[in-house]
Amino acid sequence: MHDDTKSIGDIAAELYHKPPERYNCAQCILKAFNQSPEKIAEFKAYGGGRAPGGLCGALFAAKSLKDPIAQQHIEDRFIKEVGSALCKEIRSKNLTPCTQCVRIAANIVKENLE
């Protein structure tokens, strides 16, 4: 289904706002990891800074795929690479483009699966 030469992060990033689905950051993560269409639709509510606690939607979705112990590791790694876990802070300070946040979050989840 996916080109084996691309990282999961590249696959997720390519899905970001791509027609016809126009997935948000959270949905891209779930789609890249082959989650159910229902779960992907549910996460439409979590893009654009609307994830609980103001988290980056890509980070929120990445954490949803793992157990609580791994979730903290994912968040710590994300903050180390991006500079914050909060969408508003990431965007207002131009720390990292949304597409790159999607790529980073997906790659961190993949590393935690290996």
Do the domain assignments include residue 81? yes
Q: What is the pLDDT of residue 5?
A: 82
Do the domain assignments include residue 80? yes
Residue stretches of the chain with pLDDT short of 50: 1
Return all residues near 71 (Cβ < 8 A) that are at least 6 apart: 63
Q: What is the pLDDT of residue 27?
A: 98
For residue 90, give Cα distances in angstroms to 58, 72, 78, 86. 12, 19, 11, 6
Do the domain assignments include residue 89? yes
Contact 65, 109 (CB under 8 A): yes
Do the domain assignments include residue 56? yes
3-state secondary structure (DSSP) of residue 58: helix
Do the domain assignments include residue 2? no
Do the domain assignments include residue 84? yes
Q: Rounded to whole angstroms, how far apart are CA atoms 114 and 112? A: 6
Do the domain assignments include residue 33? yes
Please tell me the total count of domains within the chain. Answer: 1
Q: What is the pLDDT of residue 28?
A: 98
